C-alpha cells in the first residue's frame, strides 16, 4: 500500500466518528423538541368535562406524553373522537 499512511486512516476514522456524533445530537435535539411541544400541549389542554385536575395531577401525564410523544401521536390518532 504505497502512499497510504496509518495517520490518514486515523484522521478519516476520527472525522467519521465526529460526523456520527453530530447526527445523533441533531436527532436527539429534534426528539427533545418534539417532546417539549407535546408535553406543553398536554399541559395547555383543557380538562375533561366534570373533572378538576390540578397542575400537579396533569404534570406526570404531560411528562410521559412528552417522553413518548411518537407513541402518543399514534394513540391520539387511533383513540381520538371521530
DSSP state of 68: T
pLDDT value for 68 = 84
Q: Measured at the alpha carbon of residue 35, what is the angle toward residues 68 and 33, in degrees to the nearest 5? A: 145
Is there a contact between 73 and 38 (Cβ–Cβ < 8 Å)?
yes
- For residues 58-72, one letter each, b for 16 or more C-beta atoms within 10 angstroms of the residue's C-beta and e for the rest, the string is beeebeebbeebeeb
pLDDT value for 50 = 64
Domains in the chain: boundaries? 8-79
pLDDT value for 2 = 53
Mean pLDDT by 10 residues, the chain (82 residues): 66 90 94 86 72 73 80 81 58
DSSP run (H or E) holding 11: helix 6-44
pLDDT value for 5 = 64
Amino acid at each position: 500500500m504505497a502512499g497510504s499512511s496509518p495517520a490518514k486512516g486515523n484522521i478519516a476514522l476520527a472525522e467519521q466518528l465526529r460526523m456520527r456524533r453530530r447526527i445523533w445530537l441533531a436527532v436527539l435535539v429534534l426528539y427533545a423538541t418534539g417532546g417539549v411541544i407535546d408535553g406543553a400541549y398536554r399541559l395547555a389542554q383543557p380538562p375533561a368535562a366534570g373533572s378538576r385536575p390540578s397542575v400537579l395531577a396533569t404534570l406526570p401525564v404531560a411528562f410521559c406524553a412528552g417522553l413518548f410523544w411518537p407513541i402518543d401521536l399514534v394513540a391520539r390518532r387511533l383513540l381520538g373522537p371521530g
